[in-house]
Amino acid sequence: MRTAGHQQGEFHGVGIRAVGAYLPAKVLSNTDLEQILITRDDWIRENIGVETRRVAADDEWTSDLGAEALRDACARAGITPADVDLVICGTYTPDNMAPPTAMLIIDKTGATGATGFDVNSGACPGSVFALDVGAKYVASGAYRRVAVVMADVNTKTLDWKDVGPAVIFGDGAACYLLEPCATGRGIGTTLLRSDPTRYRAVWVPREERRFRDGRPRRSAFGDNFAQLSGAAVRAFAVGEVPGFIGELLAAEGLTTDEVDLFALHQANLHIVHGIMDGLGVPRDRTVTNVQRYGNTSGASVPLVLREALDTGRLAPGDVTVLAAFGSGVSMGAAVVRWCADDDFAVPEVPEVPEAPEILAASASATSVASATPEASTSAASAGPAVRDTAAPGAVRAA
């Protein structure tokens, strides 16, 4: 087990080295929903913007999705899960109440020795809230390589007779792989904000529900069911998020014209467009996937980043704004200057050298000792080897 230890006096930027992704194999279309809900395909498209969504299998849980996303992130960075020091799982749908789902992700991926814990920041806002937690651990020097896994099985919280949530949500996972990077690159200003007076706008309360014949109605989480007020969420997102992003940019000394990509939470297509319109920014400076995946909660923003990377919409040197919002109600936003591979060429923490008296025990040892500083300097300047073994392409699915 690795133990956290602060390295005093060392300060680095924090960059997103890779973004992993995973989507369940099952695709549920609006036409499929017409068979189980009182709804219509054309209504969902016109009002929500969702056409299909992914649904986890009956035996597929948050840790399963998260493990695949972590593996994918590691493959894209040319490392293995065993090279990860800390795993943070951002979720509101843990496999069990305890221990944390991060433990299962570590076990399933072979990230042996990593420390892990969960962060429940209200589902959708987690795209930025959990990222901020992970970034602070890297910035402090406590951990060098941190995997922030965003995973939720949203559809397992649904009452499939409650149209509102059922037409919106889908399942998915993504993983930010964080490492120290060159100063001036990576994650910049981050803002977080919450308003508990709208606690019930989007929530998963515990309540008994029954069928007409009196039989208890259950979700996969028992008496816990997702609920939302679409009007309240839309008013909050379109009315407040653009101004919040404006505050972020002002704090970072940027204007909207200097942002290459706005990676926004995929609450629904019209909310994303409403935020872009509120910013006064052309809609083509964002990427949307809610049409195909639905609202994937905390995985939403990193899935947008992954798609932007795969399609060439995001490249090293680009300035991007990440913005997530939802349950709480809460919202978080961050500026990220996207890193190139060279920006991660930060030397590993050096091992403690052998004691001088041991090195002096033989002539060969003395020779090695005299050569060691030169070799160490060369290795430090070169940095760790970097390679990307994953071919570019679509998000992985089972």
Q: At residue 3, does pLDDT exceed 60?
A: no
pTM over cut 0.75 = yes
Instruction: Tell me what the mean pLDDT of segment 178-205 comes to.
Output: 95
Active site residues: 124, 265, 295
pLDDT of residue 345: 64
Judged by average pLDDT, the poorest of 30-34, 170-174, 222-226, 243-247 is 222-226
pLDDT of residue 212: 87
In percent, how much of the chain has pLDDT > 70? 84
Q: Spell out the long-range contacts of 279-288 with Cβ–Cβ below 8 A and sequence spacing 24 or more.
A: 279/242, 279/245, 279/246, 280/256, 281/256, 285/259, 285/260, 285/261, 286/261, 286/262, 287/261, 287/263, 287/311, 287/313, 288/49
Q: At residue 60, does pLDDT exceed 90?
A: yes
**Is residue 205 reached through a cis peptide bond, with omega within 30 degrees of 0 on the bond before it?**
no
pLDDT band at 222 (very low <50, low <70, confident <90, very high): confident
In percent, how much of the chain has pLDDT > 90? 77
Q: At residue 264, does pLDDT exceed 80?
A: yes
Q: Per residue in 194-213, is it b (16+ CB within 10 Å) or e — as a string?
A: beeebeebbbbeeeeeeeee
315-339 pLDDT, tens digit per residue, is: 999 999 999 999 999 999 999 999 9
- State how far the Cα of 141 lies from the Cα of 83, in Å rounded to an integer: 16
pLDDT band at 64 (very low <50, low <70, confident <90, very high): very high
pLDDT of residue 362: 36
DSSP state of 92: S
102-147 pLDDT, tens digit per residue, is: 999 999 999 999 999 999 998 999 999 999 999 999 999 999 999 9
The whole-chain average pLDDT of the chain stands at 87
Residue with tokens 């910013």: 279
pLDDT of residue 359: 34
Judged by average pLDDT, the poorest of 1-15, 19-33, 244-258 is 1-15
- State how far the Cα of 82 lies from the Cα of 71, in Å rounded to an integer: 10
Phi, psi of 15 (to 5 degrees): -115, 160
Q: Which residue has the higher pLDDT, 28 or 356?
A: 28
9-56 pLDDT, tens digit per residue, is: 344 899 999 999 999 999 999 999 999 999 999 999 999 999 999 999
pLDDT of residue 210: 87
Q: At residue 391, does pLDDT exceed 50?
A: no
